[in-house]
Every structure is written in structure tokens, then in C-alpha cells.
Chains A and B, each alone.
Chain A
């Protein structure tokens, strides 16, 4: 069988795979946004910039220090997460008693600064990041060629999402986190250091964005704008899924990535807008989002 609905199978599966990869990034980013929103009650607009920083730190490690992909996969999220911790301690923590929107404005300002600094330093054109030799090449699956790195991204992103879910749902720390999301003062009254937990949660959410950035580095060119355009789509994903459930974010992220990939095959003109159109439909039918609580 070479064609499905008149579409050549390699094209169809190729776009499906691209959709899955985009979906993996949507899932990881919206997961981080949801975790941060749950505890801090702010929308982290800097998330896109932190994704970009993750990719850049990986690039810098390789080009300035000669540290390769595998170490970058650990070091970059740690370093970027650390900057997140500093941001939270110095600025974001001052806003918890304020209207939620101030948090959004502050993080928006931060993302402008980060993007501007990187653009001054490295220009707007992207810089290539080589696929590590262990993951280069492609498998012949019979119906299509599967680049090994792309398969790796999907599998690793799924692993990261499931790990996050397990930590939040099955561990003691996750139980504290969920409790603090429901009622922070009460959890604090039980002797849990909630402010420190908030700081670490922000750091972890940021690290997740940076991890996605490292994964993205060999696929997209590493450039200062790579996060901003993505984050607006991720906002739509978050609105569609609702921020109530972790698994919901992951499912919505992957699902929308696949829908976007299929749109590229069947009606390419709409591929840039399809997620926004779905957002409108979901808002009309279920304003709280697919997995959200009203």
C-alpha cells in the first residue's frame, strides 16, 4: 500500500512524525506551565525564553567547553533551572499578593530581556547543533525512513512527562505539592516549608522547559526567537487542555501536535492556524478546557 486517502504513505507518516515531535514539545512546555501555575498562580511567559536558553546553553557547552549532548541533557536544565530559582527568589516572589496578571507582565518583560540579550550576542540567524553520533542515521521501517534522533525525542519526551507525572502523583513530595496547590497556608501550618517548595517548583518547571530546549537544539536551528513563537501556541494548548490535570496537558500536547501534522498533509494552508481554531471551538463548547475544572 503506497497511498492512504490519495496521500503517499511516506509523506503521511513523515508529517505524523513531525507532528508527534512538535506535540512532544507542546506537552513538555504545557506541563511545566501547568505545574508552575498550580502552585505559583502565575503564567510563566518566560517559559519560551527558558526553552531557548536550554538550547543555547547546550550549544555553548559544546562550542566553548567541548561538553557534548549527553552531559548537556543534564547540565543545561540544571543551569537554566538555577537561573529560574534566582528569578523566583529576587523578583517573582514579590508578586504573590498581587493580581495574577502582574506575574504575567513581569515574566513577559523578562522574556523580552532574555531574547534581546541573546539576539545582540548571537544575531537572529540560527546556529546548527549537530545530532550526537549515537543517534544519527535512520531506521528503515518498511513504510518510511525514521531518523533515529526524531524517534529518540518522542520517546525521551514521553519518558520525561511520565516521570513528572509519577513524581507528582505517587511520591511524598508530590503529595505535598498537590496539597499546597489546594491550600498553601494549611500545608505550611503542618510544618512544610512552602516558600522553598514554591521556589523549587518554579526551578523544576523551568528545568523542564530547558530540557525541551536541549532536545530541540539538533532539530531546529538554535536561535533567539525559537521559544517565543512556540510559547504562544503552547498557551493555546494550555487553554484547550485546561491546566487542571497533568496527564491532560500531556495528552493535549501530543494530540494537537498530531492534528497539526495531519493538517500539513491534507490542508497545508491551515497548518499554522489549526490549533487556534481548535481553541475557539473548545472555548465555545467547553469553556473550562478539555481536562479543566470550571
Chain B
């Protein structure tokens, strides 16, 4: 087997002061994050921020799997994109309220995750990555052909609707607060999952699966539940994104989206709390400002991938944490 694990943490875990399960440094970072969420829409374009938050949430969901269980899924676009399609369909065709639409989208992404996870966890490592990629490609072809997704056109003109039936989300600022609330809720949920006894077992599986099995844990069951949770939250992210932009398209189920979320997590730092968010920020900002460069964006992404793998395996947040000798 391979020597160095993907996400062995640089700082030893000792008994540390904790505030709501966050270390002191993490708690300060959390407060900074809240402050940034409140202040940012007054300085930056809200739609850009919402896009960023959706991808940050997607990356956090992905990190739950790769960072804390050590499972590299190469097909998370399937859950993100499917969440988007189902949410868009619920909001547009069935006329449901946004929160219910997102819940339905997340639920179906979770069901899909349960089926695919059940198939994929039969193999490990590289095979797991290839299987998740192949299954996601199958979903891509299904979405291309299925009548309800609208094929190449996607589902367009999806209404943002009224939150709980009476708060209009059409104004960008209202939508922003809604997206920020969804993000914070899911972020805290992931934190809670990771720091629960269940999460401890997940990390044990990441460090040494045979040993965890020998301690009497059914590791496959734990991996499957983690997979479902990750897929569900990815579905929430996809659904929210489809409401923000009023459109669900094939782009979100394409394999390149699976690569992008992997890149975001890698750039931010695998297995860190705040890394996926920072990584999503870097990649989304880069795509935004370099949009007119066309295919060169793909080239730059490839270069970042290689730089991360060869030189910065800890990612931005991991490197900062290493410098400050704290876990972030």
C-alpha cells in the first residue's frame, strides 16, 4: 500500500480548548467568516457572492468525503447537478416554495448517493474514483436524453419564488441572505457531523481502515452514510445554485464540474474546516476575472492542479495553519 495518506494532519491532535467543538483558532476564523458574510454584499456584487457560496458549500460537502473519510469521489457533479435539476423542476413546474424545492432536490441527490455509494464502496482507492466517475457520466447521458431536463437547453427561467410562501427572493439582497443562511446551516451541520462519535469513526477509517474493522466497526456502513450525507449536501448546493441563476443545465452534471470541486478542495486544503471555502473563492474568482481568456482558464486550472499535487499538498489553509501551528 501507499506510504503517505492523502490528508494526514500536520498538527498533532491533543486535548485543546474548544468552543462549540471549534478550537480557539477555528472559532476566531469562524467569527471572521460570519463578519465577512455580513459585510461582503455591501462591497461585492451579490450574485457573484451567491455563486461563490454555492460552490463553497459544494466543496465543503465534497471535503466531508475526501478530507474526513479519505474517499476520492470523481463524480460529485452528479449529485450537484441532479440537485439543481430537481430543485428547478419543483420550483418551476410544480410551483413549490424555494425551501421545499431545495429539500426535494437534496433528498433525491441523497437517494442517488445511496444507490451509487452502495455500488462504489465495493472497491477502494483508484477503482472507487473511476467507478464514481463512470456513474456520474451515466447520469450526464441520462440528463442529456431525459425529457424533464430539457436536454441541451436545460431548465430555464426558474422562478426564485417566495420563501415560506411570503418573503420574495427576487431581490438579490433577499436571495443573498437566504443563500448565506443555507450555507451557514450546512457548514455547521458538517462541523457537527465531523465532531460527532460517528465522525471520529470516519477519521479512523481514513487513517487505517483494516484496523477500524478489527475494532468491530462495519466500515462499509460508515462510508456509505458519509457518502449519502455528502451527496445530499452537494444536492443542496446544486439546488440553491439553480434558484440563484434561474437555470439548471448540463454544465453542472458534466465531469469537468467534478474536477472543479476537487480542485477547489485541493487548493483550499484537504481535510481542513475552512479550506474548501477559500479554495472555492479562489477558483470562482479566477473563473470570473479570467472569463474572457476562454480555454486558457482550463490550462490554468491544470497548472494549479499540478502545482498543488507536486508542491502544495496541504493547500492554502493547510499551509497557513502549518505556519501558525494551529488547525484551521
Contacts and interface: CB of A to CB of B under 8 A. Distances in A.
A10 B52 CA distance: 54
B240 interface: no
B86 to A, nearest CB: 19
A105 B305 contact: yes
A138 B309 CA distance: 50
Given A101-B125, A276-B138, A111 B302 contact: yes
Interface stretch (B2-10, B41-49, B162-170): B2-10
B310 A112 contact: no
A100 B126 contact: yes
B138 A277 contact: yes
A61 B149 CA distance: 43
Interface of B, secondary structure class, is helix
B157 interface: no
Interface size range on B against A: 35 or more
Contact of A108 (B131, B135, B141, B259): B259
Interface in A232-250: 232-233, 235-236, 238-239
A228 to B, nearest CB: 8
Contacts of A235: 130, 133-134
B298 A119 contact: yes
A114 B125 CA distance: 25
B305 A106 contact: yes
A213 B74 CA distance: 25
Nearest to B255: A232
Contacts of A238: 130
A2 interface: no
Contact of A279 (B134, B144, B295): B134
Interface in A91-126: 91, 94-95, 97-102, 104-106, 108-117, 119-120
Contacts of B308: 105
A43 B297 CA distance: 24
A232 B301 CA distance: 20
A119 B123 CA distance: 35
A283 B259 contact: no
B299 interface: yes
Nearest to B71: A101
A112 B259 contact: yes
A120 B134 contact: no
B6 A108 contact: no
A4 interface: no
Given A98-B2, A101-B6, A91 B302 contact: no
Interface string B286-321: 000000001111110111111011100100000000
Nearest to A288: B123
Contacts of B72: 101, 104
A240 to B, nearest CB: 9
Interface string A56-93: 00000000000000000000000000000000000100
Interface string B162-199: 00000000000000000000000000000000000000
With most chain B CB atoms within 10 A of its CB, the pick from A43, A104, A279 is A104
A187 interface: no
Contacts of B295: 116, 119-120
A272 interface: yes
B119 interface: yes
Nearest to B304: A109
Nearest to A102: B309
Nearest to B307: A109
A114 B120 CA distance: 29
A105 B299 contact: no
B306 A283 contact: no
Contacts of B297: 116
A284 interface: yes
Interface string A120-144: 1000000000000000000000000
Given A94-B310, A276-B137, A116 B298 contact: yes
Contact of B302 (A37, A95, A113): A113
A273 interface: yes
With most chain A CB atoms within 10 A of its CB, the pick from B3, B145, B262, B295 is B295
Nearest to A229: B137
Nearest 9 interchain pairs by C-beta: A109-B305, A112-B302, A113-B302, A116-B298, A116-B299, A276-B138, A236-B134, A119-B295, A272-B141
30 contacts: A43-B130, A97-B2, A99-B2, A100-B2, A100-B125, A100-B126, A101-B125, A102-B313, A104-B74, A104-B126, A105-B262, A105-B266, A105-B305, A106-B306, A109-B304, A110-B306, A112-B259, A112-B299, A113-B306, A116-B299, A117-B299, A120-B299, A236-B130, A236-B134, A238-B130, A272-B141, A277-B138, A279-B131, A283-B131, A284-B122
